[in-house]
Amino acid sequence: MRVGIIGTGYVGIVSGVCFAEMGHQVVCFDVDQKKLALYRQGKSAIYEPGLEELLTKNLAAKRIRFTDVITEMLHDSDIIFICVGTPPLPDGSADLSQVETAVREIAENTPHGAYKIIVEKSTVPVGTHKRLKNITRLYNKSQAKFDFVVNSEFLKEGDAIHDFMHPDRVVIGVETDEAKNLMIQLYEPFKDKILVTDPSSAEIIKYASNSFLATKISFINMVADLCEKTGADVSLVAEGMGLDKRIGRAFLNAGIGYGGSCFPKDVKAFIHVMEQHGVEASILEAVDTFNTKRFHRMVEILKEEIWILKNKHIAMWGLAFKPNTDDIREAPAIKIAQELLDAGVILHLYDPAAMENFQKLFPPSDRVHYALTPLEAIQDVEGLLLVTEWAEFKKIPLKTIYEKMKLPVVIDGRNLFPAEEMIKHNFRYFPVGKGKVLDRMNETK
């Protein structure tokens, strides 16, 4: 089938490449010339494992191409996916201007009498499909026929190709049989996973899913706080809870709170939508507030342990909001780094993929150093903050870490290191939600 993609960021490029891999003919359109130039050479503009290989393969097979001319994309596609950004506005609501521009341009440029399916893949508030329908009515003078479909994307950065190709569900919110049948044909390899709904339900499914996952994270972090006060271990609590099939173990890892380009903005936008419709959103307000406060935790522990932070050398391992991505949007590392700099710390930063992006916010200086390896980052530092749980950190021998550091203070925001081993190696070790370990640290102060 002939697929068009508008917006080749994380979702657009992965969707485009995966549709091509499924055998469809894909044309991707973006306004960002730099991204397009990279993609045409088979290079990815984002860090995403497996993406470049699949892109190169499908470029060679001539199943995917890239253009900055919208009429070209419209001429060669029947099903057009809107994959542009929906970032937060200051009041928490979703900024839908990129979506509106994309749909307006489709309406203005679709040839006379043509039939196109416009698919909302971007995450948008309930009711957006109605607004988009109206935009096409206003701007379409060529009497083209449009159908609207809501097909939100559920992929996770870092595992995006796998998620797209092995979905838990493909939600198709649709109003006409013609559009429904074409969408089912498009997703034929995943036909057992398709859930057909009305467009409003499909729009709500996306926000409700992300908000629910965020709620699980804030919930387990709250439980972790109680574990710390009572000598309990949040990993065991999560295991015990997760064995209940109604609950499940996923998203019950205590830590420093959720970040990234989706959860923080989607929770806020969902709250905003609820308020607009007069629906009580206090559960999600609590989730959001709890998460925002959580970023201070690591710096508070550090202050408690080494007291004055001014001119102390502190390392941070991990800057991306999660492992296997270079994405730092709403990453906890941003707030933590800023708080440490405000306290007068000299920072030593390392991340396998996100340092280039981080440098745009925190340029290298005499207070901010970027290391080429994790070990270089911890040379003679007085504390290490483990912010993102990249697998490579776990492979480094604890003895080596201990020897490199000036003070062996490790604040593990992701419970990456084995607590008993850390204690055996004489670290001052501060994990999340492990009451007994923290009690031992306090006793030996």
- Contact residues for ligand NAD (CB under 6 A)? 6-12, 29-32, 35, 83-86, 98, 101-102, 122-123, 153, 155, 157, 261-262
Residues 96 and 87: their CA atoms lie apart, in Å, by: 8
Q: How far is the CB of 32 from ligand NAD (least distance, A)?
A: 4
- Which lies closer to ligand NAD via its Cβ, residue 120 or residue 147? 120
> Which residue, 132 or 409, has its beta carbon nearer to ligand NAD?
132
Residue number, 122 or 253, with CB nearest to ligand NAD:
122
DSSP 192: G
CA gap 248, 367 in Å, rounded: 43
- Residue closer to ligand NAD by CB (options 257, 408) is 257
Backbone angles phi, psi at 418, to 5 degrees: -75, 120
Q: What is the rounded distance in angstroms from the CA atom of residue 138 to the CA atom of residue 117? A: 17
CA distance 270 to 388: 26
Distance CA 204, CA 279 (A): 14
- The nearest distance, CB 82 to ligand NAD, in angstroms, is 9
Considering beta carbons, is residue 5 or 346 the nearer one to ligand NAD? 5
**Which residues sit opposite 149 in a β-bridge?**
119, 174
CB of 120 to ligand NAD, least distance (A): 9
How far CA 67 is from CA of 31, 80, 100, in Å, comes to: 9, 14, 20
CB atoms within 10 A of CB 396: 16
Q: For the CB of residue 49, give the shortest distance to ligand NAD in the complex, in Å.
A: 14
As a whole number of angstroms, the distance between CA 254 and CA 225 comes to: 9
H-helix segments, 190-347: 199-230, 234-242, 263-276, 282-294, 297-306, 332-342
* Residue 16 or 383 having the CB closest to ligand NAD: 16
For residue 200, report the phi and psi dihedrals to the nearest 5 degrees: -65, -45
Q: Is 8 helix (H, G, I), strand (E, B) or coil?
A: coil
| CB-based contact 382:313 (threshold 8 Å) | yes
Judged by CB, which is closer to ligand NAD: 358, or 429?
Answer: 358
**In whole angstroms, how close is the CB of 10 to ligand NAD at the nearest point?**
4
Closer residue to ligand NAD, CB minimum distance, 31 or 196: 31
Minimum separation from the CB atom of position 392 to ligand NAD (A): 22
Distance CA 64, CA 58 (A): 6
Q: How far is the CB of 262 from ligand NAD (least distance, A)?
A: 5
**Helical spans, DSSP H, in 123-198:** 128-139, 160-165, 177-186
- Could you tell me the smallest distance in angstroms from the CB atom of residue 315 to ligand NAD? 28
Tell me whether residue 160 or residue 438 sits nearer to ligand NAD (CB atom). Answer: 160
Active site residue 262: yes
Which residues share a beta bridge with 79? 3, 117
Least Å distance, CB 148 to ligand NAD, is 16
Place of tokens 């969902």: 270
Residues 350 and 223: their CA atoms lie apart, in Å, by 30
In 3D space, the residue among 33, 186, 153 whose CA is nearest the CA of residue 83 turns out to be 153
CA–CA gap between residue 368 and residue 355 (Å, rounded):
12
* Residue reference for tokens 């109604």: 246
Residue nearest to ligand NAD (CB): 9
Q: Which of 337, 300, 285 is nearest to 411 (CA)?
A: 300
Residue 29 sits at the vertex; the CA angle it makes with 98 and 128, to the nearest 5 degrees, is 30
Residues designated as active site: 262
